[in-house]
Structure 1
Amino acid sequence: MQTDEIIRMMSAQGLRITDQRKTLAKLFADTPGYQSPKDVYDYMGRSYAGLSFDTVYRNLRVLDELGVLEQVVFEDGVKFKLHCRGHDHHHHMICLQCGKTYPISYCPMDQTEVPDDFKVVKHKFEVFGYCKACSLEEESRA
């Protein structure tokens, strides 16, 4: 996804397009993989003196709620990346080393028995591991 496409999505959802949000859109358009809120804060802080961590985190959460970004909880905390576009509903296998993602082509919820007295409103399913390149790199270090 390109920066201008992200900005159009934000604008279509009623967000005011500030220079900070343009910079945030450019960061995610130019950076594959996942970014922690601290990574984003450090990047944004180089251009915007006095920027607060709360402002950065609030913008990340808003962009997640609008479907521009998606968030995943890793062992070391929450991280964000551009939301997948052009795919039907799917889940991911995620490399813990490089952040590369692989789509899971079916939804495990389809095989989950949900009790009659429970209403599912949303779900997430991620599988964590190592891609082939990162596995080979790790083996060569050992």
Structure 2
Amino acid sequence: MHTIEEIIQRMAGQGLRITDQRKSLAKLFAETPGYLAPKEVYEYMGKSYTGLSFDTVYRNLRVMEELNVIEQVIFEDGVKFKLHCRENEHHHHMICLQCGHTYPITFCPMEQTAVPDDFRVVKHKFEVFGYCKDCIQEESATGAN
């Protein structure tokens, strides 16, 4: 996981002004192991910054994503963000739908995808959703009672 200081350093290194709000965002993502919906981030920030707009929060999330500080994943219930992995190599994820635990996929499925000659890929995402061993066991234990 990245530390608060590493996140702030990454933002400052890209010329961003380091405001108290951005420090709070860095702290939130550094201390949250799973995924956060923009609304959750907005509610967290609203506790400390009255008058803060949802647009401002969302704009900061987008900036942090562009800087590879956080990652965006689209779930069935909407977009969520989490702290970017420490992986520097291009990779994808398997994500537990219950607890949000994330496992890296160590190869890129695009390498095995037949892309038509008349199509140019400029960006791709690949996530696999399911349940981790702990959540499967928890479900089995709850269902057995």
Q: Same fold (TM over 0.5)?
A: yes
Deviations 1:56-114 (A, max 9, x none): 11110111112111100001100001111234111000000110000111110000011
Structure 1 residues 83-92 or 131-140, which shifts more?
83-92
Matched letter for residue 77 of structure 1:
G
Structure 2 residue matching 1:60: 3-state secondary structure: helix
Partner of 1:12: 13
Structure 2 residue matching 1:79: 3-state secondary structure: strand
Deviation at 1:2, TM superposition (A): 0.3
Partner of 1:52: 53
C-alpha distance in structure 2 between counterparts of 1:40 and 1:103, whole Å? 25
Matches within 5 A, 1:1-142: 1-142=2-143
Q: Gaps spanning 5+ residues in structure 1: where? A: none
Matched letter for residue 70 of structure 2:
L
Structure 1 residue matching 2:95: 3-state secondary structure: strand
Matched letter for residue 20 of structure 2:
D
Q: Gaps spanning 5+ residues in structure 2: where? A: none
Structure 1 residue matching 2:22: 3-state secondary structure: helix
Deviation at 1:54, TM superposition (A): 1.0
- TM-score (norm. length: structure 2): 0.94
C-alpha distance in structure 1 between counterparts of 2:67 and 2:28, whole Å? 17
C-alpha distance in structure 2 between counterparts of 1:136 and 1:87, whole Å? 32
C-alpha distance in structure 2 between counterparts of 1:86 and 1:119, whole Å? 26
RMSD between superposed Cα atoms in Å: 0.9
**Runs of 4+ with deviation above 6 angstroms:** none
- TM-score (norm. length: structure 1): 0.96
C-alpha distance in structure 1 between counterparts of 2:88 and 2:53, whole Å? 35
Matched letter for residue 3 of structure 1:
I
Matched letter for residue 131 of structure 1:
C
Structure 2 residue matching 1:15: 3-state secondary structure: coil
